[in-house]
Amino acid sequence: MISRRALELATAVLTGSFGVAVVVSSLDNGIGWSSAGVESGTFPFLTGVIVVLGSLYNLARGALPGLTLASVPIAITPTELRRLAGLFVPAAIFVAAMPLIGIYLASAVYIFVVLAIPKHQSPMRSSMMAAATALGLYVVFERMFQVSLPHGALAAAFGF
Amino acid sequence: MRNMSIFLLSAAAIVLAGMTPAGAAWQPQKPIEFVATAGPGGGTDNLARAVQNIITKYKLTDQPIVVVNKGGGSGAEGYVYGKASAGDPHKVIFGTSNAWQQPLVSKVAFNYIDLTPIAAMAQDEFLLWVKQDSPYKTAGDYLKAAAANEFKMGGAQSKDTDEVLTRMIEKVGHVKLTYIPFKSGAEAAVQLAGGHIDSHVNNPSESLGQWRGGTQRPLCAFSPKRLPQGTKITATEGWSDVPTCVEQGLDIAQYEQPRTVWLPGKVTPEQAAFYVDLMKKVQATPEWKDYIEKTSQVDTFLTGDALDKFIKQDLEHLKQVASEQGWLIK
Amino acid sequence: MENLQELLHGFNIAITMPHLALMVIGVLLGILVGVLPGLGAPNGVSLLLPLTFGMQPVSAIILLSSMYWGALFGGSVTSILFNIPGEPSSVATTFDGYPMARDGRPTTALATAFGSAAFGALVGVILITFLASWVAEVALAFGPPEYFAVYFLAFASFVGMGGAAPIKTVVALGIGFAIAAIGIDTVSGSVRLTMGVDELVKGVNFVVAVMGLFGIGELLVAVEEEFHARAVSSKIDWREVFRAVGRLPRHSVALLRSAAIGCWMGITPGGPTAASFMSYGIARRFSRRGRYFGTGEVEGIISPETADHAAGTSALLPMLSLGIPGSATAAVMMGGLMIWGLNPGPMLFVDQKDFVWGLIASMYVGNIVAVVLVLLTVPVFAALMRIPFVVIAPLIVIICVVGAYSVSNSYLDVVMMMGFGIVGYLFKKLFYPLAPLVLAIVIGDKAEDAFRQSMLMSKGSLGIFFANRLVTCLVVAGIVLLLLPLALQLGRMLLRKPALPGDPTTSQEKVII
C-alpha cells in the first residue's frame, strides 16, 4: 500500500530534482543581460527556481499531517497496485524489447501475452489478434505511408 | 517458417554480395532516406524534395526514396542522426554550411568530419533588403543612415550565415547593427514588410514574393558579378538589375551559402561514389535547371577535393569572424 | 462585391465532377492519417505531393487542402475516444470530450465536435473571402512585442489562478516552460538543458509529451479504477448523430464567441493551439455551467473545436498572402506551390486569380464534403468504445509507442514517452493540472523567443510592450484576464462565502485547470 502522503512526497521530490537539474544546467548558458540581449540561461534558470520553490512548498505541505489531504489518506491500495503493475510492467518490457526484436515481433508477443496469460481471451483468438496487430502496423506504416518503424537489432543481423 | 527461410536466404544473399569483388558498382539495397536538416518548406527541404522528384521521375535508382525532416536544433537533429547512422549508406543528409558552422559556435554533438561529404550542389546568393518605401536607394545611402542611428537587422537563426554576414557588414561599413534572430528567413521578410526591422539579408527565393508584391526591395547582391538574367520579377526589374554590393561601396565581394549533401560516416568509397554519380545525373536534368532558376540559386557542383578545399576555406573565414565576435565555444 | 464575383467564379472551378472526386479522396485519406497516431497531415501531404505534379495547380491544391480538412477532423477522434490528442490543437478537446465518451456518450461527443468544427471552419473561410486584404494588413502589424503579447494573452485567459492548488499549477507551468526550453535556442543559437543527452538537442516534441501524459497516464488511472466504459448501446444510433448536430444552435453564443477567438488567433500569429486553449479557458469562465467543465460538458467540446478549426482555416491566409506557413502542413503545401511555379506572397491574389479563388471556393465545398463524410463515420468510431478494456489497453500502448517513435524515428522518444506516462499518472492522482503544462510546452519557447527579440529591439526596456495601441491593448487585456479570478476570489473571501465542500466537480476542476 502506498499512502497519499508518500505519493505527494515522492512527486514533490521528483519535480524538485527536475527543477534543480534545470537550474544547474542553465547556469552553463549564462544568466542575466549581455550584449546579445537576455542570455539564454535566464528563463530556464528562473523557471527552475520557481519549480524548486514550488516543490519545496508541496513537500512541506505533504509532510505536515492533518492538512486538507486528510480526507483521502490512502492513495493506492494493494489491489490497485497489482492492476497498475499488470498494465505497466508488460508495457515496459515491450518497450525494452523493441530495439532488440523490432516493433512487429515485440507488439505481437506483447498482445498475445497480455491477452492469453491472464485468460482474457482464448489462446487461439489471442494469437490471431497478435498477428493482426503486427500485420496492420506493417501494412499501414511501412507500406502505405513509407514510415519506417524499428525493425530491431535481430532483423538487422539478418540484413533487413 | 516461410519468414525464416526468407531471413536466411537474404542473409545468405548479403554475405554473397559482400564477397563479390569490387568490380560491380554498389547499388542501394533498401529504401533510401533523405534527411532534410530543416523543417518542411525551408530551402533545404525544397532541395531534398526536388532531388527526390527528379530521381523518381527518371528512375535513377530502383529503390524508393523517403524524405524525412529533422530540423530540430537548427538542423543539428539531422546531423546528429547522420552521425548516429554511421556505416548506413541508405541515409542521405541534406544541409547547408551549418554542418561545419554550427559545431564552431555551439555545443552540438557532431562535427562535419563525422559525415562523408558527397557534394555541394547549389549556392544560394545573399542580398541586402530594405522596406519598399524606405528612403535609401543604394547601399551607400543605407550605410550612411545606419551610421547615424542603430539599425535593426533581421535574419534566420543566431550565429548562423545571416548573422555572420551582418557582422561582416558592420566591420566593412563601419556601422553598428542590432541583429534580431528569427526562426526563418520567411519570418524576417514578413517582419520587414511590417516595418518592425530595418533590413535583412535574405536569399533571393526567401523574399521573391515580397519583392513582387512591392513590400520590400533589394539594394545590392553580395556577389562578385551581377546575378544572371532571368525573367522580370517586378514590372521593370529582374535579378540582373540589382547592383553588386561592391559597386555600391559595400566591399563584400562574395558571400554564398552552399547546399550540401552528405552520407553518414564510415561508408565505403564505392557507396559514396554511387551518390556522387547519382547527384551528377540529377544535375543534368532540365527539371534541375528549372529548380535552380525558380529558386534563383547558382548552379555549382563541388565534390571530392574541390569540396574539401571549399569547406576548409569557409571554415577559416568563419573562425576569424567567430573569434572576433567571441562566439567560439570554449 | 468584387470578391463575391471572384468567389462565384471560384465555385465554377471547384464544383466539377473531377474536383469533387478529388475532394472525397483527399478527405478520406485525411481522416485516415488524422486518426492514426504518428501520422499527420504532413505525412499525407508529402505522400501526395509527387502525385500532384502532373495536375493543374488548382486541382492539386484542392486535393491537398481536402486532405488537410480530413486530417483536422480525424485528429479529434483519438482525443475524444482515448484521450490521446494527435495534434497540439486537439488537446483542449480531450478535457470534456473524453469524459463524455467515457460516460457512454461517444456518439454525442464526436458529432458535437465535428459539427462545431465545421462551423468554425466555415466562419474562417467567410473571413478569408471578404476580408482577405484587411487580414493581410492586420497580420503585418505584428512584430515581436505583439507576438509576445498574444502568447501572454493566451496564457492569461487559460491559466487563471482560481483552481484549488495554485502552487501545483505553478510547478506544472514551470516544468512545461523548462521542457520547452530544451534543445537549441533560436535567439542565442546555444544548446540548452540537454543534461548530457546529445540527442536532446532536437528538443522534446509535443506529441511525445502528450502521448505519455494523456494517453499512458490516463490508461494507468483507468486500470487502477478497473474502469469499464459504461455500456454503449450496441446498435448503431444514427439519430443521435443528427440530434447532437441539431442541438448545436442552442449554444450559438459559445459557437460565435469561439469562432471569433479562433479567427483572431488564426490571423494574428497565435495559431490553432493557442486559440483552442484560450477559447476553452474563456468559455469555462463565462459559461453558466462553467464549473462543470471537465466532466463532459457540451460547451467544453464546442469551444475548443470551433476555435481550432476557425484558426486553422484562417491561418491558411497568411500562407497565401504573406508566404509564412502557419503550420507544418501549410509549409509542405507552400513548398508544393513553389514547385508548381507559384510564389506565395502578396502578388498571388493578382497573378493567379483562378488558383486563389478556386482554392477558397474549394474550402467551402471541401469542408462540407468533409463534415458529411466524417459524420457518417461517427458510429464506426463510437463502436470502438465497445471493445473491452483489456483488449484496447495494450493497443493504446502500442499506438502511443508508434506515435512517439515516428515523430523523429527515435527510440529515446519512446522511452521519454513512457516516463511522461508515469508523470501523467502521478499528476492526475495528486491533482496537479496537466493543461498548463502542455500549453507551456507548446507555446512556451515561442513566447520566450518573442520576449527576447523584443528586448533586443528595445535594448532591455519593458516600455516596448506599451509602445503602441495594439500591443498595449493586448497586454492590458492579458493582465485583466490574469487578475480577474484573483480579484473575484479575494472578493469571495471578504464576503466569507464558504466553498461547497461536497461538490463533486471540484476535484475534476483541479485536474483540468
Strand pairing class (B91-95; B256-264): antiparallel
Would residue B160 count as lying in a domain? yes
**A159/B66 CB distance under 8 A:** no
For each successive 10 residues of chain C (513 residues), what is the average pLDDT?
Answer: 79 88 91 81 73 80 86 88 85 92 89 95 89 78 92 81 71 94 86 85 88 92 69 65 91 95 84 89 86 90 94 78 65 68 70 82 89 90 84 91 86 95 93 89 90 92 92 92 79 64 40 40
pLDDT of B21 > 80? The answer is no
Q: Is residue B7 part of a domain?
A: no
Question: Judged by CB atoms within 8 Å, which residues 10-69 of A form the interface with B?
Answer: 36
Q: Say which CATH number the domain at B320 has.
A: 3.40.190.150
Q: Are residues B144 and B250 in the same domain?
A: yes
CB B72 within 8 A of CB B98: no
Q: Are A58 and C168 in contact (CB under 8 A)?
A: yes
As a whole number of angstroms, the longest Cα–Cα distance in chain B is: 80
Q: How far is Cα C422 from Cα C219, in angstroms, rounded to an integer?
A: 10
Find, in chain A, the residue whose alpha carbon is nearest to that of B64: A146
Instruction: Copy the grid coordinates of residue B246.
Output: 561592391
| Predicted confidence (pLDDT) at residue A68 exceeds the cutoff of 80 | no
* Residue B195 placed within a domain: yes
CB contact under 8 A, B66 and A146: yes
Q: Do C188 and A47 touch (CB under 8 A)?
A: no
- Residue B179 belongs to some domain of the structure: yes
Task: Give the model confidence (pLDDT) of C121-175 as tens digits.
Answer: 999 999 888 887 777 778 888 899 999 999 998 888 877 644 557 888 889 999 9
Q: Which residue does chain A place closest to C44, by CA atoms?
A: A145
Residues in chain A with CB shorter than 8 Å from the CB of C223 are: 83-84, 86-87
Q: Which residues pair with B216 in a beta bridge?
A: B131
Out of A36, A146, A158, the one facing B10 most closely (by C-beta) is: A158
In this structure, the answer to whether residues B96 and B132 fall within a common structural domain is no
**CB of B131 closer than 8 Å to CB of B191:** no
Same domain, B270 and B240: no
| Reported confidence tier of residue A67, pLDDT bands at 50, 70, 90 | low
Nearest CB neighbour to A107, from listed C193, C398, C448:
C398
For residue B292, give its domain range. Answer: 30-124+257-325
B263 sits in the region (left: phi over 0; alpha: psi -120 to 50; else beta) called beta
Nearest-CA distance from B241 to chain A in Å? 36
CA dist., res. C275 & res. C277, Å (int): 6
Tell me what pLDDT residue C256 has.
Answer: 95
- Bridge partners of residue B155, in order along the sequence: B181
**Residues B156 and B198 occupy one common structural domain:** yes
Indicate the average pLDDT of chain B.
86
CB contact under 8 A, B33 and A159: no
Strands (DSSP E) along B70-109, which ranges? 91-95
Q: Evaluate if residue B8 carries a pLDDT over 60.
A: no
Q: pLDDT at position A66, please? A: 56
Indicate the range of B82-96, B201-215, B238-252 predicted with least confidence. Answer: B201-215
Q: Same structural domain for residues B228 and B285?
A: no
Same domain flag for B198 and B277: no
The pLDDT score that the predictor gives to residue C160 is 60
The pLDDT value given to residue B137: 92
Identify the band that residue B22 occupies on the pLDDT scale cut at 50, 70 and 90: very low
Shortest CA gap B329–chain C (Å): 10
Query: Can you give the pLDDT at residue B109?
Result: 85
B8 part of a folded domain = no
The CATH number for B205's domain is 3.40.190.10
Three-state DSSP at C86 gives coil
Report in angstroms the alpha-carbon separations of B9 from A135, B13, C108, C320. Answer: 22, 6, 54, 53
Whether A160 and chain B come into contact, CB under 8 Å, resolves to yes
Within 13 Å and on the Cβ side, how many CA atoms surround A29? 33
Q: Report yes or no: B64 at the C interface, CB cutoff 8 Å.
A: no
C-alpha cell at B73: 536544433
Amino acid at B138: T
Share of chain A above pLDDT 90, in %: 51
From chain A, pick out residues whose CB is under 8 angstroms from the CB of C416: none
Tell which of B55, B178, B190 to mutate to test the C interface (max C CBs under 10 Å): B190
Asked whether the beta carbons of residue C328 and residue B49 sit closer than 8 angstroms, the reply is no
Domain limit, last residue, from B239, B254, B269: B254
In a domain, B19, yes or no: no
Overall number of domains in chain B: 2
pLDDT at C484: 79
What is the radius of gyration, based on Cα positions, of chain B? Answer: 22
Rounded to an integer, what distance in angstroms lies between the CA atom of residue C12 and that of residue C17?
Answer: 11
CA distance A145 to chain B (A): 10
Testing the interface with B: which of C52, C201, C204 to mutate, by most B Cβ within 10 A? C201
End position of a domain, from candidates B205, B230, B254: B254
Quickly state the pLDDT bin for B18 (edges 50, 70, 90).
very low
- Give residues 99 to 118 of A whose Cβ lies within 8 Å of B: none
Residue B15 pLDDT: 41
Do residue B242 and residue B207 come from a single domain?
A: yes
Interface confidence (ipTM) of the complex:
0.93
Nearest CA of chain A to the CA of B162: how many Å? 15
Residue A76, pLDDT > 60, answer: yes
Give how far Cα C400 sits from Cα of B319, C406, C433, Å: 44, 10, 21
Interfacial B residues in 29-48 facing A (CB < 8 Å): 30-31, 33
For residues B271-291, give the mean pLDDT: 93
Arithmetic mean of pLDDT, B218-241: 88
Answer with the one of B195, B222, B254 that is the final residue of a domain: B254
- Does residue B24 belong to any structural domain of this protein? no
Per the model's pLDDT, the better-predicted residue between C493 and A25 turns out to be A25
Q: Which of B4, B6, B7 to mutate to test the interface with A (most CBs of A within 10 A)?
A: B7
Partner-chain residue, chosen from B45, B73, B109, that has the shortest CB–CB distance to C203: B73
B159–chain C Cβ distance below 8 A for any pair: yes
Q: Do B236 and B137 belong to one domain?
A: yes
CA distance C59 to C52: 8
Q: How many CB atoms lie within 10 A of CB B13?
A: 12
Q: How far is CA B161 from the centre of its chain?
A: 10
C430 phi/psi in degrees, rounded to 5: -105, 15
Q: Which residue has the higher pLDDT, C408 or B143?
A: B143
